[in-house]
Amino acid sequence: MTNLEYKCQLCGTCCHEIPGEYVKRIPIYPDEADRLIEIAKKRNVDFRIIEDLVFPDIKNEKIMVLTYRIRLDNESKGCPFYSKTTGCTIQDVKPLACQAYPLALKRLDAFNFAISIDPLCNFVIMNYDELEKTDLEKLREIFKEEYPKAENFYRKNKKLMFKIRKLEVTNKIKIPHEINLENFNDYLKRWNRTEIRVN
Ligand code: SF4
Ligand code: SF4
């Protein structure tokens, strides 16, 4: 048993870029992007997304978009849904990545991910020594609310990867196993997009 319990310090670091150090990446799935675009329209928030995880499909000459990321506000360098006074203004509908935070998905290879802890969260920094020693069971205790969200995040990601693999083995798409940057950039410029969605 551990006595440590996750308590957000409400510092807002996770909703902003860390100057000079780190480009903040807040990943969202296409269905989440749709939802946030609708909310932003209603609230007149300047909300924009950038393609994040994409695979080229050389069979159909398309770019498959698996996730987007939130474009940070030019001035505040933060998520456009962040308020200096009240923090996240979409608490009830925030993306899975934010619900799970400071737990995150770490990419192991092209198709595999694992649940990990983001070392840039201030709670994590404050408790680094203890968290470094924790096993999975303890992590579940420390991040009682966030761990199940991280599992949902993991499951959704896994479904997405399975969907891609299935399309691949049934010959509906072809993803190059090796690709040079020049070709990839050329595909990005020329090819249409197709979103890959899962529930
Ligand atoms: S959606 Fe909310 S929690 Fe997520 S980055 Fe934006 S303000 Fe922060
Ligand atoms: S960085 Fe960590 S402690 Fe700070 S607001 Fe984000 S989750 Fe909370």
Asked whether 100 and 26 are in contact (CB, 8 A), the reply is no
The predicted model scores a pTM of 0.92
Per-residue pLDDT at 130: 92
pLDDT in tens, 94-122: 999 999 999 999 888 877 889 999 999 99
Per-residue pLDDT at 199: 82
Low-confidence residues of the chain: pLDDT under 50:
none
Asked whether 150 and 115 are in contact (CB, 8 A), the reply is yes
Cα–ligand 2 centroid distance for 128 (angstroms): 14
What is the Cβ-side half-sphere exposure of residue 111, based on CA atoms within 13 angstroms? 11
Per-residue pLDDT at 179: 87
Establish whether residue 121 lines the binding site of ligand 2, counting it when its CB lies within 6 angstroms of any ligand atom: yes
